[in-house]
């Protein structure tokens, strides 16, 4: 059994932590500075609260599962303690950002394993995969055994797990943003009803998909801005056009920046479209 540190128990982190607990490990988290929502999730997942210093000194493995824009800062906080265990970054970040995280972590004295999570927060087997790569990936892959989280080794280079996550989310979240842009264009031009009628004839999945895209953008768009920027940077690094995902970042930024976005429980499609329509200030 392994003592694992988890920074931090968001929707995904808490569910991953719960899988590790169900596999028999002790999972530590640090409540300081975190919201009531995070505390509630950590308690529900039966994670053990402790201070940051003891989390670092007691954990053989630390998972970083946080908003992508915070991945480097979280790594720096851990490295500054002189942590010498195994550090897993499982965030949606580009290979270049993952390399920076790895450099910070290894300079501090720890080993790095690259990760990328695909699927919803795991609550039943078969839906969520944790891709892992790097020399010690197999040690991490053994941790969630017989839980709802499936660990897979991503064959390829050391940062293959992050690369897979970027390529995967480029399609899923990129096309959701494109769909929202199309629907907003139709509304701006006064032809939304005509477009919906045409979709009903020739693209039957799109009305519902655009509703789902708006709902997801309302609750998670703030976090996806950085993820789209990481994907745009990945495209540039591979000699590909970055514009698709720069635009997707702007769509998600507009949803979350123009006033308070609708909450998860009371999201409103028209409000999301209105947020996208209005030019950011």
Q: Which residues bind ligand NAP (CB under 6 A)?
A: 8-13, 34-35, 38, 65-68, 70, 73-74, 91-92, 117, 120-121, 223, 227
Smaller CB separation from ligand NAP, 112 or 199: 112
Q: How many helices (H) and strands (E) does the chain have?
A: 11, 8
CB of 226 to ligand NAP, least distance (A): 9
SS3 156: coil
Closer residue to ligand NAP (CB): 13 or 134 = 13
C-alpha count within 13 angstroms, C-beta hemisphere, residue 209:
17
Q: Is the dihedral of CA 38, 23, 158, 83 positive or negative?
A: positive
**Choice between 73 and 208, CB closer to ligand NAP:** 73
For ligand NAP, the closer CB: 63 or 244: 63
Q: Which residue has the tokens 């769909």?
A: 179
Task: Annotate 117-149 with DSSP letters as a single string.
Answer: EESSSPSSTTSEEEEEESTTHHHHHTTTTTSSE
Give 55 or 65: the residue with its C-beta nearer to ligand NAP: 65
Q: Which is nearer to ligand NAP, 59 or 184 (CB)?
A: 59
In the complex, minimum distance from the CB of residue 119 to ligand NAP, in angstroms, rounded to a whole number: 7
User: Please, what is the minimum distance in Å from the beta carbon of residue 30 to ligand NAP?
Assistant: 10
CB of 55 to ligand NAP, least distance (A): 13
Q: Which residue is nearest to ligand NAP (CB)?
A: 10
| Burial class of residue 236 (count of CB atoms within 10 Å of its CB; 0-12, 13-18, 19+) | middle
Considering the complex, what minimum distance in angstroms separates the CB of residue 230 from ligand NAP? 9
CB-side neighbour CA atoms (13 Å) of 188 = 13
- 261: DSSP letter: P
Minimum separation from the CB atom of position 71 to ligand NAP (A): 7
Backbone angles phi, psi at 21, to 5 degrees: -60, -45
CB 89 to ligand NAP: min, Å: 9
Considering the complex, state which of residue 92 and residue 148 has its C-beta at the smaller distance from ligand NAP. Answer: 92
CB burial of 191-221 (b: ≥16 within 10 Å; e: otherwise) equals eeeebeeebeeeeeebeebbeebbbbbbbbb
């Amino acid at each position: 059994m392994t003592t694992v540190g988890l920074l931090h128990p968001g929707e995904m982190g808490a569910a991953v932590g719960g899988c590790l607990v169900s596999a028999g490990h002790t999972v530590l988290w640090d409540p300081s500075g975190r919201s009531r929502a995070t505390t509630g999730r950590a308690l529900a997942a039966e994670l053990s609260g402790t201070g940051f210093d003891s989390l670092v000194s007691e954990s053989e493995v630390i998972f970083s599962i946080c908003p992508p824009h915070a991945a480097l800062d979280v790594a720096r906080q851990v490295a500054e303690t002189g942590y010498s265990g195994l550090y897993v970054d499982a965030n949606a970040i580009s290979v270049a950002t993952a390399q920076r995280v790895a450099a910070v972590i290894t300079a501090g004295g720890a080993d790095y394993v690259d990760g990328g999570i695909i699927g919803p927060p795991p609550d039943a087997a078969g839906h969520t995969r944790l891709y892992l790569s790097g020399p010690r990936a197999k040690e991490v892959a053994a941790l969630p055994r017989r839980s709802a989280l499936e660990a897979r080794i991503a064959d390829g280079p050391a940062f293959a797990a992050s690369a897979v996550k970027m390529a995967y989310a480029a399609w899923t979240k990129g096309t959701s943003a494109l769909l929202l842009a199309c629907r907003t264009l139709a509304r701006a031009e006064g032809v939304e009803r005509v477009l919906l009628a045409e979709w009903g004839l020739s693209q039957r999945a799109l009305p519902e998909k655009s509703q789902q895209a708006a709902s997801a953008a309302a609750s998670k768009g703030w976090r996806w801005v950085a993820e789209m920027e990481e994907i745009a940077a990945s495209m540039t690094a591979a000699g590909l056009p970055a514009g698709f995902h720069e635009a997707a970042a702007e769509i998600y930024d507009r949803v979350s920046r123009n006033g308070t976005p609708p909450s998860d429980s009371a999201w409103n499609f028209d409000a999301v479209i209105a947020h996208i329509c209005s030019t950011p200030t």
